[in-house]
Structure 1
Amino acid sequence: MIDFEPGFLSALAGSAAVSILVAGAGGFMTDTGPWYRSMKFPSWKPPDWAFGPIWTLVLVCATLGSAKGLQAAPDDQTYWLCVAVLGLNAGLNILWNAIFFALRRPDWAFIEVVIFWLSILAVMFVIGSHAPFAALYFLPYLFWVGIASLLNWKIVVLNRPFGALSHD
């Protein structure tokens, strides 16, 4: 259960704002037009319509975990370490969309998504060091980005080579 201890609402507002920014930037860069539709996908790829609801659920959980982790930080140093790893993670989330969709480089995006996935582990470790329950809110994020990483890899294998920056 989420309790509304001092500082939680401001941490929740800040975390929600970042999640909305990440979702908006990712959605803005996602182009499922002719280039994307021309690719081969594995049979287990989730349907395109499922990505929005899944990302919404994942980011709601991450928002709650972030807010609880920030609110529970025992000192300023821990608080700012949380802000740093959460900010890095948000940046990597947005960067994946830019590499995959804007640059049309699933091969480079795969390298980036591995780092992105590791950043989720870093978030869980940093927050878990002082708020173990809050770190659990990041499990759906870790799981979903793990699936996305496997999907990214299969897209690379099924569609390589990449390199031409064509814009249909």
Structure 2
Amino acid sequence: MKNGKHNPLVSILLIILLTVAVAGLGAVVSGGSDDPWYAALNKAPLNPPDITFGIVWPILYTLMAIGAILVRLKAGTFALASAALGIYFTQLAVNLSWSWLFFAFQTPLIALIIIGILWLLIALMIRAFARYSKAAAILQVPYLLWVSFAAYLNAYIVFSN
């Protein structure tokens, strides 16, 4: 403890490491058009080129981690932010499960259900983050919007294949 506050370094490193791990483990199975199964699917008219996902997701993961770090710092201790950060880590796990269910296990319908759960968790995370930092909450809005768009893409695949 330093000046009555816990050193946030361990929490910050945990947030960064877990966020990077989820991003990496999701990327392992997200082959895009290089994946013959995915390439053969009928896709939505607004489906962006593969390169878009490779640009957007790293930005979103960065914004997610910055938001979680802001919450941790504003709370003063991990324990005081445990509810908000618990939602953060839960949505990371659900986010990762979507990638694996959709791409690795090729189950778009189950993935669509999971993306609905992910959307709700992100909305709850925004609300929980706002209790500590409006900036942390606002940083999650692009993520919510992108997951909304991804849900449309996922739904199109479910209903058109």
TM-score by length of 1: 0.84
Q: Is 1:143 aligned to 2:135, yes or no?
A: no
Query: CA separation of 1:44/1:76 partners in 2, compared to 1, >3 Å: closer, same or farther?
Result: closer
Indicate conservation of the 8 Å contact 2:15/2:69, yes or no. Answer: yes
Give the direction of change, closer, same or farther, for the CA distance of 1:34–1:143 in structure 2 (3 Å limit). same
User: Does the residue aligned with 1:72 lie in a helix, a strand or coil?
Assistant: helix
Secondary structure, aligned partner of 1:124:
helix
How much has 1:74 moved relative to structure 2? 5.6
The offset of 1:98, in angstroms, is 1.3
In the alignment, structure 1 segments of 5+ residues that lack a partner are: 1-5, 160-168
Letter in structure 1 aligned against 2:147: V
Q: Which runs of 5+ in 2 are unaligned?
A: 1-5
Identity %: 27
Partners in 1 of 2:50 and 2:89 — Cα distance?
A: 27
Q: Count how many residue pairs are aligned between Structure 1 and Structure 2.
A: 155
- More displaced 10-residue stretch of structure 1: 15-24 or 105-114: 15-24
More moved, 107-116 vs 75-84: 75-84
Q: Cα RMSD (Å) of the superposition?
A: 1.9
**69, 72, 81: which one aligns with 2:71:** 69
Amino acid of the residue matched to residue 63 of structure 2?
C
1:23 aligned partner: 23
Over 3 Å counting, the alpha-carbon distance change for 1:13 and 1:82 in structure 2 is same
Structure having the higher helix fraction is: 2
The TM-score, its normalising length taken from structure 2, stands at 0.88
Distance in 1 (CA, whole Å) between partners of 2:53 and 2:78 is 36
SS state at 2:81 partner: helix
What is the Cα deviation at residue 117 of structure 1? 0.9
Q: Which portions of structure 1, spanning 4 or more consecutive aligned residues, are displaced by more than 6 angstroms?
A: none
